[in-house]
Amino acid sequence: MSAIGSLGGAGGRTKTAPDRPEKRRLTPYWLLVPGMAWLLIFFVVPMVFLGSQSLQTGSFEDGTKLTWNFSIYWETLRGYWPHYARSIGFAALATIAALLIGYPLAYMIAHKSGRWKNILLVLVIAPFFTSFLIRTLAWKTILSSGGPVVWFFQQTHLTDLLQWLHLTDKDTLLATPFAVIAGLTYNFLPFMVLPLYASLDRLDHRLLEAAGDLYSRPFTAFRRVTLPLSMPGVVAGTLLTFIPAAGDYINSVLLGNTRSTMIGQVIDGQFLRVLDYPQAATMSFILLIIILAIVMTYVRRSGTEELV
Amino acid sequence: MGTPDSAPSAPLLRGLTRRRFLGGVLGLGSAAALSACSTPGLEKYGLDARAATDLSSGQKVVNWSNWPEYVDVNDKTQRHPSLDQFKKATGITVRYTEDVTDNDVIFAKLKPALAAGRDTGRDLVVVTDWMIERMIRLTWAQEIDHGNIPNLKNLEPTLLNVSFDKGRKFSIPWQSGFTGVAYNPKATDGVKVTSVDQLLHDKRLKGKVTLLTELRDTVGLTMLAMGKDPSDFQESEFYDAIDVLRDAKAAGQIQGFTGNEYGQGLAAGDIAACMAWTGDVVQLQADNPHLGYVLPKAGHMLWSDNFFIPNQAAHKTNAEKLINWYYQPKIAAEVEDYVNYIPTVVGVQDILVKEDPDVAKNPLIFPDAKVRSTSHVFQGVSAQQDTEFNRAFQALIGG
């Protein structure tokens, strides 16, 4: 996404002698035209339609008219705030879980895997060879009652822990918030691993040797050298995981219960089944704004502004 | 990024700040906004305007969209014998697609073409009663020429004069089925589940019950359990049923609302009991004979999936010939032997008694008159009710 856009950003410095200034001033704008056109057609226009649709009233059969019905935003927030909160919460937990699993994995692939590196990278992407739906359905079998995973969780009393955390409500795993978060983590893990790998792979080993020469323990070297240098990967990975996870609904439909409904599922119902397009547009717009606000704050805080 | 005062890139950076850039984009966007002020309503098409030039005589094909596993399959060759026989008998090739997985999803797929008065690329589509009702209301279904379907005389008489299509001018039934209650005795600790009331309130089933995402099945069965008739009810009674369902959901009784996918969970025991469709359960019981299925004493729902010919379909006559083909009891029996729903063609049972007595004896495939007398079909709804009921039901499912 925008992270990719920044790659070409620093290349503008040339050493040509100053020729006609006006011409030179216009060139960057011409170069921007294809990008702008793309943004206009595939982002701005749909966004305006969505915004406009959300403020219309009427019915699907008789047509809808723009009536600047702003009250729908307030009503939607009041009626569906738990769904938004849940979506953000689940996505955040899944992102943290993916980071905890993905970081060691990416580190191992980048630095410890030797000649297995390429094979391991292919394995990270391998799940994409089958459909998202099939992969999620497989989790129904994995977490099914009477299966080995549930047995293991019960033997180790992890089920009690999950119950205490309110992530499950019985001695089972399927059809619980835990299952939804696990599904999200699994489905978006590659989006975490690949950017992490890209930034860890570039890490200069000599920096770690230098840290060692200066009597830093391995952990200190990790904390003060490896981690800061991999921060762009962490930020890109968390964004690529969090954003799609917050809007996902397949996982909550297939792995959740009636009290783990995420906002994507509600939008799907309004759009597809009730055919209430203004309501669906409003919900999508609110989700967009919430995610944008979170992402902006996060990126500002993490100090890697070149990502946006 | 480059430092702001490094000469060559400076004009761009100074001239085009992020704010100005966004301002420009928003300006262009507001131009688009003017064109997005309203969404037009749907045009109505008269009977004459719905038909396209029929290419049937020149092109010996018919495009049929159906639900998955809803026609006979030869397990060895993975071909559909009844379709191959049709080709042999008439020379017409059937392009058979299993792309109807959900009434609302197929509606969303067909809508752009039908609303614009264009061909959908499909000559025959199979959808459930209430979607037929909507298609007829929107004037998106073509009138079927009964002259091309002499075998329609074999139609099960109770299905001829349905509320949404008296005399079957726009739709012909493909399969029927009941909605009742299924349970897995292993997951209920041996408790028998015999009523919807028990599904919604028996604490032993708490959190292990699923209902259906089909409004008419879930609300219909609930109404019956409340002593109301889903084929003839007041609006307030609909909302009463929604309230009962909401209470059960709030009490944690209900695990979820599903389509066909309840089968796997029921067999595995993740679902202890659920609302379920007959044909699914008959197929499930083949591998899991211990599963129980009950048509509640309070009554059960009867539904049909029906053929309709979308507007502007290019091979209407071929489509009618295909319907005629399946209204031969012998061919219908071939299909029934595989799909195990309730046939809509009279005379199928007599054929199967000889060919596959197990199927012929199954009361879920060939219900007797006593069972049929407790079947209910959900009443027809107006456009406004269609929206309002859906809204209330979706609020229940996703709320």
pLDDT tens by residue, B80-134: 999 999 999 999 999 999 999 899 999 999 999 999 999 999 999 999 999 999 9
Residues B386, B269 share a domain: yes
pLDDT tens by residue, B240-250: 999 999 999 99
Residues of A in contact with B30 (CB under 8 A): 48
**In the prediction, which pLDDT does B25 show?**
63
Q: What is the mean pLDDT of residues B362-373?
A: 91
Residues B158, B87 share a domain: yes
Assigned domain for B234 exists:
yes
B399 vs B373, which has greater pLDDT?
Answer: B373
Residues B286, B172 share a domain: no
CATH of the domain at B130: 3.40.190.10
Assigned domain for B7 exists:
no
Assigned domain for B43 exists:
no
Residues of A in contact with B397 (CB under 8 A): 258, 269
**And the tokens for A230?**
């991999």
**In the prediction, which pLDDT does B58 show?**
92
Residues B194, B127 share a domain: no
Tell me how many domains chain B contains. Answer: 2
Q: Hey, which residues does B188 pair with through a beta bridge? A: none
pLDDT tens by residue, B121-141: 999 999 999 999 999 999 999
- B249 contacts A258? CB cut-off 8 A: yes
- How far is B281 from B182, CA to CA, in rounded Å? 7
pLDDT exceeds cutoff 80 at B353: yes
Place of tokens 């001239």: B15
Residues B196, B79 share a domain: no
Locate the domains of chain A by residue range.
2-9+81-307
Residues B114, B263 share a domain: no
Residues B332, B221 share a domain: no
Residues B210, B100 share a domain: no
Residue of chain B nearest A137, judged by CA positions = B261
Residues B187, B162 share a domain: no
Assigned domain for B92 exists:
yes
Distance from CA of A133 to the nearest CA of B (A): 12
Q: Where are the alpha helices (DSSP H) in chain A?
A: 2-5, 21-39, 45-54, 71-111, 117-125, 132-142, 148-155, 158-164, 177-201, 205-213, 218-221, 227-247, 250-255, 263-268, 277-302
Place of tokens 């993905």: A102
Of A56, A254, A274, the CB nearest to B387: A274
pLDDT tens by residue, B189-240: 889 999 999 999 999 999 999 999 999 999 999 999 999 999 999 999 999 9
**In the prediction, which pLDDT does B303 show?**
95
Distance from CA of A164 to the nearest CA of B (A): 17
Distance from CA of B98 to the nearest CA of A (A): 17
Distance from CA of A70 to the nearest CA of B (A): 14
Residues B286, B141 share a domain: no
CATH 3.50.50.60 fits A2-9+81-307, yes or no: no
pLDDT tens by residue, B136-151: 999 999 999 999 999 9
Assigned domain for B120 exists:
yes
- How far is B9 from A25, CA to CA, in rounded Å? 9
Chain-centroid distance, C-alpha A168: 24
Residue of chain A nearest B208, judged by CA positions = A175
Given a contact cutoff of 8 angstroms between Cβ atoms, the answer to whether A197 and A110 are in contact is yes
Instruction: Go through chain A and tell me how many residues it has.
Output: 308
**B216 in reach of chain A (CB within 8 A):** no
Residues B275, B232 share a domain: yes
Of the residues B110, B255, B389, the best mutation for testing chain A's interface (the one with the most A CB atoms within 10 Å of its CB) is: B255
pLDDT tens by residue, B145-178: 999 999 999 999 989 999 899 999 999 999 999 9
Q: What is the pLDDT along chain A (308 residues), one digit of tens a residue?
A: 344 444 334 444 444 555 566 777 888 888 889 999 998 899 988 998 899 999 999 888 888 888 889 999 999 999 999 999 999 999 999 999 999 999 999 999 999 988 999 999 999 999 999 999 999 999 999 998 888 999 999 899 998 899 889 888 777 899 999 999 999 999 999 999 999 999 999 999 899 999 999 999 999 999 999 999 999 999 999 999 999 999 999 999 999 998 899 999 999 999 999 999 999 999 999 999 999 999 999 988 886 655 43
**And the tokens for B163?**
């509320």
Q: What is the mean pLDDT of residues B330-339?
A: 95
Given a contact cutoff of 8 angstroms between Cβ atoms, the answer to whether B301 and B178 are in contact is yes
Kindly state the DSSP code that residue A176 receives in the 8-state scheme. Answer: S
Residues B100, B54 share a domain: yes
pLDDT tens by residue, B19-56: 666 676 666 666 666 556 788 888 889 988 899 999 99
Residue of chain A nearest B383, judged by CA positions = A61
pLDDT tens by residue, B247-289: 999 999 999 999 888 998 999 899 999 999 998 899 899 899 9
Assigned domain for B32 exists:
no
Assigned domain for B74 exists:
yes
pTM for the whole thing? Answer: 0.86
Place of tokens 């019950």: B209
Place of tokens 């606000």: A293
Q: The domain containing residue B351 runs over which residues?
A: 50-176+303-364
A 68-97: CB under 8 A from B: 83
Other C-beta atoms closer than 10 Å to the C-beta of A75 total: 13
